[in-house]
Chains A and B, each alone.
Chain A
């Protein structure tokens, strides 16, 4: 299944990746190989098989609605590349 350059551009845009023309060609090939490999699954008949919702046989895992202390904001903001006034500082979007 050959992926077109346009499809690669679309996926790159969604992932906010900037690709060179050479990279687009390269990734089109590589991604096509990955998709082809996944396509081998189609050889198996899945008639009557329930789609898998979760990989582990667990369900209904809950916690009660009880507050616990949050993390100190100095501590959590220490991970931010940029912060100001106890807020994350980001490039303006709109």
Chain B
């Protein structure tokens, strides 16, 4: 990115609130049901049907607001946002315009060890739209199909200040926001299922300029990676336009994952004019201070507090503590391990290392895997008492991860017990040393690599099962005995 320009980013995040029923009717919110099996006259937009607010939605919105250090005003209300689209059965979306449920909060993010505070302008409750499914070949079919199961599902839209200055900061904000919402228990935040969605407002200006540049809104950002890539692409596009003197338009663009580029969605003539007005079918909402206090008192431990606890109680480095508090499931896994096994740092290393690698590789969340805290602890004990080596432990972990078997079962079934018997190892070591006189010479002339070569050969010959400490000891003895 050019050093002459500054990127300005603000994010609008939609989080699906964790409720049993929709925001204004008693239809189920379960994901993945057969099309149109979870609708009624209210969420399908039939004339005359009257909405009634789900109390749980307000509870969760307040909870999210407190987690994001927001002010919860004494009064908020609902408004109609008017536009036509086939997935919007009423012809308007019930949202909150001038009096949102939460305002003026913030989130602290960590950028290469530096703390940065990003403002949260507001958060408001609204209903989701239905889902459009294109029929057949999208380029030729004249029709789309509409499933209204999602219509009326409760969303919280969280709007940030334009405080971010790089794709990396935007990602850090979204990750932190996700973590806060997960800990607060207000949303599942599954980006693939759409329960967490993100739009980015991006503009570029020369460094030192006060006014913002022309802003584009990018939609369809379904992953952290898409968010980063789309911002980088868009910022580059703006910088090039500024360099060439090409005019930029304020517009809505979509991220094309396949082509890795943003595309214009609407021309500016169709610029939105939502004609918001108060929703006459819903009375205003007055939130008492007692209600807010009640929600505050019930707030669970949040990531920042947990991070502090991990550092203070277990002496973990800040980096480890931050990674272990990314999701409530990760923290819970660690907490359960550390109750049974005293060495917190070793647990952290395994969780952030092998375990995390396997999760990434298989695209799973910690709760989806077969590995239990109990099995991890048993495995660590087997390493400690010398039954298996650290290297073998990695194999055992992978097996536990895939099959859910206990480490003992795996070791027994695969014959992975560590060879800690000098009488077995010594002849093997002597053979390997004897077969490589040149490497022995290297060793004698002080080349450190020679030792590593022999250890590698011995491990290979024993399929990694040789006790590394014993190998080192015996190998040194054998080599030093050669004149």
Which residues of A come within 8 Å of B, CB atoms? Answer: 10, 14, 16, 53-56, 58-68, 70-71, 73, 76-77, 79, 84-94
CB interface residues, B 278-312, toward A, < 8 Å? 278, 280, 282-286
**Minimum CB distance partner of B77 in chain A:** A53
Given contacts A53-B77, A70-B37, A71-B40, contact A59 B285 (CB under 8 A): yes
Number of interface residues of B (CB under 8 A): 53
Add 17 more A-B contacts to A61-B282, A70-B27, A90-B86 (CB < 8 A). Answer: A53-B278, A55-B280, A60-B285, A61-B52, A62-B58, A63-B54, A67-B21, A67-B28, A73-B39, A76-B36, A76-B39, A77-B36, A87-B145, A87-B146, A88-B86, A89-B143, A92-B141
Chain B, residues 100-134, CB within 8 Å of chain A (1/0): the string is 00000000000000000000000000000000111
Contacting pair B52 A87 (CB below 8 A): no
B423 adjacent to chain A (CB < 8 Å): no
B245 adjacent to chain A (CB < 8 Å): no
Partner of A85, one of B28, B35, B280, B283: B35
Q: How far is the CA of A43 from the CA of B280 in the complex (A)?
A: 26
**Minimum CB distance partner of A64 in chain B:** B55
B41 adjacent to chain A (CB < 8 Å): yes
Cβ contacts under 8 Å, B395 to chain A: none
Closest 5 CB pairs between A and B?
A65-B56, A68-B26, A87-B145, A88-B146, A62-B55
Contacting pair B275 A70 (CB below 8 A): no
Contacting pair A65 B54 (CB below 8 A): yes
B144 adjacent to chain A (CB < 8 Å): yes
Given contacts A87-B147, A93-B144, contact A63 B53 (CB under 8 A): yes
Contacting pair B20 A66 (CB below 8 A): yes
B273 adjacent to chain A (CB < 8 Å): yes
Contacting pair A73 B37 (CB below 8 A): yes
Q: How far is the CA of A59 from the CA of B52 in the complex (A)?
A: 12
**Minimum CB distance partner of B273 in chain A:** A14
Chain B, residues 26-47, CB within 8 Å of chain A (1/0): the string is 1110000011111111001010
With both chains docked as a complex, state the minimum distance between the C-beta of A11 and any C-beta of chain B, in angstroms. Answer: 9
With both chains docked as a complex, state the minimum distance between the C-beta of B31 and any C-beta of chain A, in angstroms. Answer: 14
Chain B, residues 139-182, CB within 8 Å of chain A (1/0): the string is 00111111110000000000000000000000000000000000
Residue among B38, B58, B99 with max Cβ neighbours from chain A (10 Å): B38
Contacting pair B53 A87 (CB below 8 A): no
**Minimum CB distance partner of A82 in chain B:** B143
Contacting pair B36 A73 (CB below 8 A): yes
Chain B, residues 55-66, CB within 8 Å of chain A (1/0): the string is 111100000000
B85 adjacent to chain A (CB < 8 Å): yes
B84 adjacent to chain A (CB < 8 Å): yes
B369 adjacent to chain A (CB < 8 Å): no
Partner of B283, one of A16, A61, A65: A61
Q: How far is the CA of A10 from the CA of B46 in the complex (A)?
A: 27
Q: How far is the CA of A68 from the CA of B142 in the complex (A)?
A: 36
With both chains docked as a complex, state the minimum distance between the C-beta of A74 and any C-beta of chain B, in angstroms. Answer: 10
With both chains docked as a complex, state the minimum distance between the C-beta of B292 and any C-beta of chain A, in angstroms. Answer: 14
